[in-house]
Copies of this chain bind each other. A is one copy, B any other.
Amino acid sequence: MIKHRLFSPGPTDVPPEVLGETARPMFHHRTDRFRKMFVEVNAGLRKILQTRNDVLTIAGSGTAGVEAAIACLVPRDKKVLVANGGKFGERWVKVAKVYGLDVDEVVLQWGTALQPKTVKEKLATGAYGAVIVVHSETCTATACDLEAIAKEVAATDAILLADCITAVGALPLKTDQWEVDVVAVGSQKALMLPPGLAAVAVSDKAWKVAEAIEPPCFYLNLKAYRKSAAGNDTPYTPAVSLFRGLKVALDMINETGIEKVWARTARLAEATRTAAEAIGIKVFSHQPSDSVTGLVYPDGVGDDFRKRLQATYGMSVAGGQAQLKGKIFRVSHMGYVDLADTIGLIAAIEYTLADVGVDVEIGKGVVAAARVLKGWR
């Protein structure tokens, strides 16, 4: 009878309504029925991304989406600026190098984000064709100021490619208004779906750049997806069950309203940070993301804490990656999570800290979180 809650920054908990939808009997995708759903899903994605651009869905993980964008849309004749502030930034550096791009890697101290003025200075040289940033670096729970960075890039001929995998549906993102050329999305985060679907939104500016590029790949050739999308179809067999789950998840989000979902996510993050401070736990990031919070273990506490939290209270938080392994734990605020889950998690964190010998006043964090969340809607 233990109730399980998944606070990892992907996969996140999937609403029963969505799980149920993914389990409905299979149907064929080369049909009017699928094409109708394709239209609805695309409209729903556009609404969430606040864009009129093409949004192309790919059966694969978020990495497949970002790679497709790098392989098909980044100019070959100029440098590409890649911000590396964690495991995901590091990954996009690797992908860009696989495709032979001239990579200028900006290595950031973990827990800090690429600054708009760095982008401005670099782009002023005229040497860059594209900028690749991670909107919310899952690994360090750090968000960049995507709006300000986009402003700098939009003023040039370069395109901006944003890994918004741990951001879409959680952090404010106004794709068209901010002029973000490429937005990469993953299903298992704030979209409240199982993993296995990626989406890529592409601006006209990016498509124009892409005209000169012969995609060096097949399955991840975005031009093929664009061509099929014109007929409300996908070039290869789509992940039908995830696709129909996406339809339901998008309806849930859009019925609530994306701005409200963003505001809720921000409040859950704020409540978590405030509670952590109240019980003497430090927030790791200098520029914390509202989609996921990284918290530093008190002295003498390590990943045994996470195991106890899960075993006793059914609550799964994520550990740290690479040099942060055993040093931090991470709590997602994305998707299907609310005030009760969050206040309950704070309580369970307090109990578990006490269990592992930390001197903690039970209820101090809970009160702090409850105060932040007063007026929850």
Contact = CB atoms under 8 A, between A and B. Distances in A.
Interface of A: 4, 6, 8, 10-14, 19-20, 22-30, 58-64, 67, 94-95, 98, 186, 188, 194-197, 215-220, 236-242, 316, 318
A218 B94 contact: yes
Contacts of A98: 215-218
Nearest to A9: B28
Q: Assembly of this chain: how many copies?
A: 2
Nearest to A238: B195
Contact of A194 (B10, B14, B241): B241
B11 A25 contact: no
A216 B64 CA distance: 14
Looking at chain A's contact residues, the main secondary structure is loop
A28, A98, A197: most-surrounded residue (chain B CB, <10 A): A28
Contacts of A14: 25-26
Contacts of A195: 29, 59, 237-241
A124 to B, nearest CB: 30
Contact of A11 (B12, B19, B240): B240
B28 A219 contact: no
Contact of A219 (B26, B67, B318): B67
Contact of A60 (B6, B24, B30, B64): B64
A63 B236 contact: yes
Contacts of A196: 59, 196-197, 239-242
A167 to B, nearest CB: 16
A324 to B, nearest CB: 14
